[in-house]
Chain A
Amino acid sequence: MCEECGCGITGESDRKIIEIFEDILKYNRFQAIHNREHLEEHRIYAINLMSAPGSGKTTLLEKTLENLNHKYRIGVIEGDLETERDAERIRKKGIPVYQITTGTACHLNATLIHKAIHHLPLNEIDILFVENIGNLVCPANYELGTHLNVTLLSVPEGEDKPEKYPLIFKVSDVVIITKIDLLPYFDFNLEKVKEGIQKVNPKTQFIALSAKTGEGFEDWIIFLEKKFKEYRDRL
């Protein structure tokens, strides 16, 4: 508005509206793309493990390492741990581990992954597991540059989680229902949960297992090996 007479004609000439339409998280996306290129240069297949705290990411990881360690060279990036104790356990198996100490951060992002991969012997790794921060909300927003997004949902968490936290299931290529040995003790209808997740993400795949009893674990290993083979064939 013109300060002299109050009309709306003058004074606007130097006002300029620029259209941007830019993704606010583009820096993370660029970094994620860079990470992916880097991993592929070294023919590494990378897996992002996400879940709420206590869903069994570390246990799943340990059992998976036991199953694959003799066949593939594995690496691990730990984001989830409060202490070095679990990382130490993995290191003892002779597996290279880099622990990201995020303090109180709620998610890993592509920059943190970039720093971490440069601490690992990339020429000596076939499959890289990234254990994300235990959180069903924030990790969903951040691409890391990994090839496979895996979300764990444990039976005691309850069957309403996909409806309450759809975003994480939306970005998941595969959902693993863990702790199925506890199914007799909880109101957790496997079929109903699958149906609920499919409404959120029709393309996602399912595996149900118990790392404790070993039930269903083979399905996960077969799935992983198949994915890894497809990836290597594609390169």
Chain B
Amino acid sequence: MHEYFIVQNIIKTIEEIIKDYPGKKIVKAIFLIGKFSGIEIELLKNALEFFKKETPLEEAEIVFELEDLKIKCLNCGAENIKDKWNLMCPNCGSMNTEVISGEELFLKTLELV
């Protein structure tokens, strides 16, 4: 259900964009998905493959690029990739960190012919 709602949003976004390129066809769509965006890539892929029929994405190759969770420590300046959502700096133990990437849910590029 959740993934279907996201697919609806994707299709709506793409329909808006493609309006500006009359006569063009989308052959490839690249998405940038953060590992901690809350999306299951496999489920989204399946949902998108299923629901793209009769939409501008029908003949497009769908590519997902995964983005790691990266945090920057505001205390010691270290940047680290984390495999769990844990904002503690592994270098100095500070909790004063900011998330640089890992939460994305973006349509990155469209390739048209």
Q: Which B residue sits closest to A140, measured CB to CB? A: B38
Encoded as 1 (CB less than 8 Å from any B CB) or 0, chain A from 86 to 122 comes to 0000000000000000001111010000000000000
Q: Which of A24, A27, A140 has most chain B Cβ within 10 Å?
A: A24
What B residues does A107 contact at CB under 8 A? 2
Q: Which A residue sits closest to B32, measured CB to CB? A: A21
Within 8 Å of chain B (Cβ to Cβ): is A70? no
Which of under 10, 10 to 19, 20 to 34, or 35 or more describes the interface residues of A? 20 to 34
Within 8 Å of chain B (Cβ to Cβ): is A23? yes
Please, could you name 12 A-B residue pairs with CB atoms under 8 Å apart, sorted by A? A15-B27, A21-B32, A24-B107, A25-B9, A25-B105, A26-B13, A104-B1, A106-B2, A138-B2, A163-B84, A199-B87, A200-B85
Cross-chain contact A17 with B109 (CB below 8 angstroms): yes
Residue numbers of B with Cβ under 8 A of A are: 1-2, 5-6, 9-10, 12-13, 17, 21, 24, 27, 31-32, 36-39, 84-88, 95-97, 105-113
Chain A, interface SS category: mixed
What B residues does A25 contact at CB under 8 A? 6, 9, 105
Bound complex: CA A78 to CA B18 (Å): 38
Cross-chain contact A20 with B109 (CB below 8 angstroms): yes
What A residues does B24 contact at CB under 8 A? 16
What A residues does B32 contact at CB under 8 A? 21
Bound complex: CA A23 to CA B12 (Å): 12
Bound complex: CA A21 to CA B104 (Å): 10
Q: Which B residue sits closest to A198, measured CB to CB? A: B95
Cross-chain contact B36 with A167 (CB below 8 angstroms): yes
What B residues does A198 contact at CB under 8 A? 95
Q: Which B residue sits closest to A17, measured CB to CB? A: B111
* Additional pairs, 16, CB under 8 Å, beyond known A17-B109, A20-B110, A22-B107: A15-B113, A16-B24, A16-B113, A17-B111, A18-B109, A20-B17, A20-B107, A21-B106, A105-B1, A109-B5, A163-B84, A167-B38, A167-B85, A199-B87, A201-B87, A202-B95
